[in-house]
Amino acid sequence: MRIEIRNLSSGYPDKPVLKEIDLQFPEEGFCALLGPNGAGKSTLLKTMVGFLPIHSGDIDYDGRSISSWHRLDLAKKIAMIPQELEFQFDYQVRELVLMGRFPYLSLWQNYSTLDEEIADKTLELLHLTAMARKYYLELSGGEKQRVLIARALVQQTDVILLDESLSQLDINYQIETMNLLHGISQQHSKLVILVSHNINLASNYCDTLYFLKDGKLVSFGKPNEVVNTDLLHNLYGIELEVKLNEDTGIPSLLFPRKTSSTRV
């Protein structure tokens, strides 16, 4: 799916966030949106699925303005995994994954045999079959993340958006999730866009990085092209050393040496 964002300004009614953003995403691959808090990363994702209004500019999907897409038709193209998911009731894993088929149901229609087959195959693909009857709230953080990714896969979209889905996971689950997302983008020819604060993880697993600051796109490109000390100082106002990982050739951040204790 071709996504072109043109001169986009958006945000909340009383708080504009994004300012004249111009960018194009590749039709497939693993991308990360990076930058400091308040840069507009999550705002961009929410605008892309119609959760937030466009103040000016436009988003085109396959040459069509987002305003011309019916919400259910767009849901067949783009799946969104929010930072946190709260339910009024707890659901079994299989039930929750099946909910990804909602855009394909007509009014009052129950899930079809095909819907259930798609859900079961996806549970198997993500090694969730054994916990299909477990309740979502019983699961660990990493297991919950896999369930939400499974629900997005069941939606059978070209694009999957994830809003800070790693922020509350232990490092082992972060790495597991990044491996999973990279594999999905490559093996299923999907575009996966992740909002993250972890530059090292994004550099090691993502094909393209997009850096935002103060609602504007500052830089984008492959990790080796854009991750450097000047950019990081511009974004975060701190001197960070960047060195290539000897095993991967990917740039990695080194934190500054500890200074003398600061009175607090």
> By percentage, how much of the chain surpasses pLDDT 70?
97
pLDDT at 115: 96
| 54 residue type, one letter | I
Residue 154's pLDDT band (cuts 50, 70, 90)? very high
Q: Residue 264's pLDDT is what?
A: 60
Q: Specify whether the CB–CB gap between 76 and 155 falls below 8 A.
A: yes
How much is the average pLDDT of 6-23? 93
Residue 263: band (very low, low, confident or very high) from pLDDT cuts 50, 70, 90: low
What pLDDT digit, counting tens, does each position of 79-126 carry? 999 877 777 789 999 999 999 999 999 877 899 999 999 999 999 999
Main-chain phi, psi angles of 129, to 5 degrees = -60, -40
The pLDDT tens digits of the residues spanning 57-91 come to: 999 999 999 999 999 999 999 999 987 777 778 99
In 3-state terms, the chain is what percent helix, strand and coil (to 5)? Answer: 35, 30, 35
Alpha helices (H) in 99-246, listed in sequence order? 113-125, 141-154, 171-187, 199-205, 223-226, 229-236
The pLDDT of residue 117: 97
Residues 209 and 32: their CA atoms lie apart, in Å, by: 5
Tell me what pLDDT residue 169 has. 86
Contacts 24+ apart (CB under 8 A), 185-191: 185/28, 185/29, 185/30, 186/30, 188/153, 189/28, 190/28, 190/157, 190/158, 190/159, 190/160, 191/1, 191/3, 191/25, 191/26, 191/27, 191/28, 191/29, 191/31, 191/158, 191/159, 191/160
pLDDT level of residue 13 (50, 70, 90 thresholds): confident
Examine the pLDDT at 182 and tell me if it is beyond 80: yes
In the 8-state DSSP scheme, what is residue 113? H
Looking at every residue in the chain, the average pLDDT score rounds to 92
